[in-house]
Structure 1
Amino acid sequence: MKFNKLNILIVIGFFAIVGVIIMQLFLLNQAFIFEKKEIDDKIHFALQDVVEKIYLDNQSDLPLTNKIQKVTDGYYIVNVDDVFENNILEHYLKTEFEKVKLDLDFEYAIYNCGTDHMVYGNYISADGKPDKKCEDCFTKDIDLIYYFAIRFPNIKQNYFTSLQQYWVFTFVLFLVLIIYVYSVFLMLKQKHYTALQNDFINNMTHEFKTPLASILIASNYANKQKEITDNPKLSKYLQIIIDQSNKLNHHIEQILSLGKADSNQIRLQKTKIEFNKTLSLVKENCTLKHQREITITNQISKNYTIVADAFHFYNIIFNIIDNAVKYTTQDPEITISAAENEKYTTLTFQDNGPGIPTKDLPFIFDKFYRVERKDSNEIEGFGIGLSYVKKICELHGWKVSVKNTANGLAFSIQISNNDIHG
């Protein structure tokens, strides 16, 4: 897999989420261990107090040895080593468990040395709804005489229910990971389809150029023939063919240029360009294209020399002025000015058009976004001219912006002082 910026971000995002999940699982495990230890301590201390009370009732000295043995999770044997009564034991168990706030179901059995059997005591439910008793779950200990066994049947369930919020967070994180992976899969799939679509469009436009060039050559040759020049109607029709072919050729060039920019195939060939010469050429070609009187006022006193790709720089200026002419209903008047500071020189192209609706302004550099004309229901072009302008400016390391003013629309190109000299 080719590691471009997108792939690197995807991998970083994936490992970041996985890292958070691993951390959450670690915290969940730590919380489980802590919860288990806390419950075990509560049970041990409560049973220890029960033994102490039994010895106190019997007025016996409490031995120093530990009387409580944990057999498994939720199963304990308590060696009282002294006589005790069933009802007294149950009362002490309830009291001590309540003191330590141990809300667990439990059942107990007492060893009867006369019959040599474990005698089932009772099932005590924390919520008053006892579950199924398990009288056969208690086993004898051959080394002990006076003892009882206590069992907590739902202790493992309690471990998990007490960590409910941790489980919820963990589930949410896994859900986020699944959504992230699925979204990335859809995005990569869509990117693949977009690449195929762009390849198709670029190949198609390339295939259009050859027959279109033949049409233009044949039409220009025919337009000079005496039979055509002597017939005004045929000359007019042929001129329409030439004009529309040139318009189609312009659109094809735009699509090819934008396709190259999107696929990073453009290699800038920077040279020193005289801004005034480029501006004169743009004015001449715009006048030929629109057949309108275009007034371009250059208020820049300096004759700037700009380090840029000549072909693409011409296209930038042409697209900006072409849009100003296209969307201006009256005679187009474009004023060009410059502002300098320590780092940048900003070229501003101010027109006298109606401007752009506020809702459209943030999107005019987006590819295929088109603004509806106020004087026509038809939306012209493909919406790729300004997208191309922004892409070429970015490749040069420049910034382009646009805003509405009191007089119309103002395009600004911010050029580093390293690339422009007066």
Structure 2
Amino acid sequence: MKFTRFNIVILVGFLAILGVIVMQLFLLNQAYSFEKKEVEDKIHYALLDVVERIYVDNNSELIVTNQIKKVAHNYYVVNVNDVFENNILEFYLKKEFAKVKLDLDFEYAIYDCGSNNMVYGNYITATSQPSKKCVDCFTKNDDLIYYFAVRFPTLKQSYFTSLKQYWLYTVVLCVVLIVYVYSVLLMLKQKRYTVLQNDFINNMTHEFKTPLASILIASNYANDQEEIKKNPRLSKYIQIIIKQSNKLNEHIEQILSLAKTDSNNIELNKSAVDFRKMVELTKENISLKYTKPVQFDFLFSKNLMVQADEFHFYNIFYNIVENAVKYGPKNPIVTISVKQEETYYSIQIVDNGAGVPKKDLPFIFDKFYRVERTDSKEIEGFGIGLAYVKKIVQLHGWKIKAENINPGLKISIQIPKSEIHE
């Protein structure tokens, strides 16, 4: 796999989230161990106190050591080595467990010497819904005479319940990791589709340019022939072919330019560009292309020099102004002004058209997005002109925005003061 910056960021993000989950699992394991040890200590000391109270009641000395024996994780055998009664044992168990705040269900059984069996005592619940009694869970111990056994049926569940906050954090982190992986897979899939799309566009447009160039050469040659010039109908058809071929060629060039900017293969050759000469050139080329009269108003007096790529800087203004003329009224008016703000210059291109519908305005710079015309059911163009403009503006490190005014549309380009001088 090629380690691009994108892949490295994805890998680092994945390892970071995975590391956090591993740390969380480690903390969860530690918390489980601490909780388990704390509960076991509570049980041990509470049972010791029960034995001591039995000896105090019997006026006997506590001579037995290691009275508490843990048989299983939830099963304890207590060697009393002295007589005791069932009801007194249950009272002391309840009291001592409550003293250490051990809110667990428990059941106990006492060894009966006469029957040589464990006699089930009772099931004591900390909640209102006791679990199923397990009479057969208590086994004899042949090495002891006076003893009882205590079992905690819900001990393991209590560990998980007490650690619910840690479990919640762990689940949330796992969900974050799953969402992250899923998002990365979608991004990689989208990136692959984008590469395929750009390859298709490049191949398609280059394949179109060759026959289109042949059509233009043949059409221009035919247009110069005397037979064509003498026949108004044929001359008109040839002019239509030439006009539409040139139009198609412009669309192909725009698609190629946009595909190039999307693939980040474009390199800006910045130099000091005369802003007034640039807009004058735009005015001249627009006037040559369109037959309808276009009024240009330049509302700036200073001769500004902009640090920009001259070719792409011209294309920015040409695309914006051409849209204003193409989709504007019969007598379009294009006003270009420069306003000085605190940290930047705002170059504003304003037309006198109908503007853009409010629902479409946030998307006019999106690639392939086209706005329906109010004066025509046809939607012209491919929706790539303004997308190209925004891409070039961003590559320069500038900002662009569009807003409706009354009447028309205003497009503002914000250029830092450090990149403009008089």
Question: What TM-score, normalized to structure 1?
Answer: 0.90
**Structure 2 counterpart SS, 1:418:** helix
Q: Does 1:104 align with 2:110?
A: no
Structure 1 stretch displaced more, 19-28 or 304-313: 19-28
After TM superposition, list the pairs within 5 Å mapping 1:171-250 onto structure 2: 171-250=171-250
8 Å contact from structure 2 (residues 69, 76) kept in 1: yes
Deviation track 1:24-57 (CA, whole Å, cap 9, x = no partner) reads 3234223322332332233223212321221121
- The 1-side partners of 2:417 and 2:35 are apart by 66
8 Å contact from structure 1 (residues 338, 345) kept in 2: yes
- The 2-side partners of 1:306 and 1:57 are apart by 101
8 Å contact from structure 1 (residues 24, 170) kept in 2: yes
Structure 1 stretch displaced more, 343-352 or 54-63: 54-63
After TM superposition, list the pairs within 5 Å mapping 1:318-337 onto structure 2: 318-337=318-337
- The 2-side partners of 1:196 and 1:298 are apart by 43
Deviation track 1:50-93 (CA, whole Å, cap 9, x = no partner) reads 21221121122445956333344222232323222344323433
Corresponding residue of 1:76: 76
Structure 1 stretch displaced more, 58-67 or 332-341: 58-67
Q: Percent identity?
A: 60
8 Å contact from structure 2 (residues 79, 148) kept in 1: yes
User: Once the 2 structures are TM-superposed, how far is the Cα of residue 399 of structure 1 from its aligned partner?
Assistant: 1.6
**Structure 1 counterpart SS, 2:90:** helix
- The 2-side partners of 1:5 and 1:352 are apart by 45
Deviation track 1:230-283 (CA, whole Å, cap 9, x = no partner) reads 111111111111110011000000000000000011112223322232222222
**Structure 2 counterpart SS, 1:402:** strand
Structure 1 stretch displaced more, 307-316 or 245-254: 307-316
Deviation track 1:195-214 (CA, whole Å, cap 9, x = no partner) reads 11210111110111111111
Structure 2 gap segments, 5+ residues each: none
The verdict on how the C-alpha distance between 1:4 and 1:339 changes in structure 2, with shifts beyond 3 A counting, is farther
Corresponding residue of 2:119: 120
The verdict on how the C-alpha distance between 1:233 and 1:366 changes in structure 2, with shifts beyond 3 A counting, is same
- The 1-side partners of 2:146 and 2:185 are apart by 67
User: Once the 2 structures are TM-superposed, how far is the Cα of residue 194 of structure 1 from its aligned partner?
Assistant: 2.1
**Structure 2 counterpart SS, 1:134:** helix
- The 2-side partners of 1:136 and 1:61 are apart by 28
Q: Does 1:133 align with 2:135?
A: yes
The verdict on how the C-alpha distance between 1:85 and 1:375 changes in structure 2, with shifts beyond 3 A counting, is same
Structure 1 stretch displaced more, 38-47 or 128-137: 128-137
- Aligned pair count reads 418
**Structure 1 counterpart SS, 2:411:** strand
User: Once the 2 structures are TM-superposed, how far is the Cα of residue 104 of structure 1 from its aligned partner?
Assistant: 1.8
User: Once the 2 structures are TM-superposed, how far is the Cα of residue 129 of structure 1 from its aligned partner?
Assistant: 4.5
User: Once the 2 structures are TM-superposed, how far is the Cα of residue 161 of structure 1 from its aligned partner?
Assistant: 4.0
- The 1-side partners of 2:117 and 2:150 are apart by 11
Corresponding residue of 1:354: 354
Corresponding residue of 2:30: 30
> For residue 111 of structure 2, what is the amino acid of its counterpart?
I
- The 2-side partners of 1:4 and 1:408 are apart by 45
Corresponding residue of 2:305: 305
- The 2-side partners of 1:86 and 1:145 are apart by 15
- The 1-side partners of 2:35 and 2:367 are apart by 57
User: Once the 2 structures are TM-superposed, how far is the Cα of residue 18 of structure 1 from its aligned partner?
Assistant: 2.1
- The 2-side partners of 1:193 and 1:137 are apart by 68
- The 1-side partners of 2:401 and 2:44 are apart by 73
- The 2-side partners of 1:5 and 1:342 are apart by 36
8 Å contact from structure 1 (residues 109, 150) kept in 2: no
**Structure 2 counterpart SS, 1:306:** strand
The verdict on how the C-alpha distance between 1:365 and 1:137 changes in structure 2, with shifts beyond 3 A counting, is farther
Task: Please provide the CA RMSD for this pair.
Answer: 2.5
User: Once the 2 structures are TM-superposed, how far is the Cα of residue 371 of structure 1 from its aligned partner?
Assistant: 1.4
Q: Does 1:268 align with 2:265?
A: no
8 Å contact from structure 1 (residues 402, 410) kept in 2: yes
User: Once the 2 structures are TM-superposed, how far is the Cα of residue 128 of structure 1 from its aligned partner?
Assistant: 3.9
Structure 1 stretch displaced more, 165-174 or 363-372: 165-174
Structure 1 gap segments, 5+ residues each: none
Corresponding residue of 2:284: 284
8 Å contact from structure 2 (residues 293, 332) kept in 1: yes
> For residue 397 of structure 2, what is the amino acid of its counterpart?
G
> For residue 121 of structure 2, what is the amino acid of its counterpart?
N
User: Once the 2 structures are TM-superposed, how far is the Cα of residue 413 of structure 1 from its aligned partner?
Assistant: 1.6
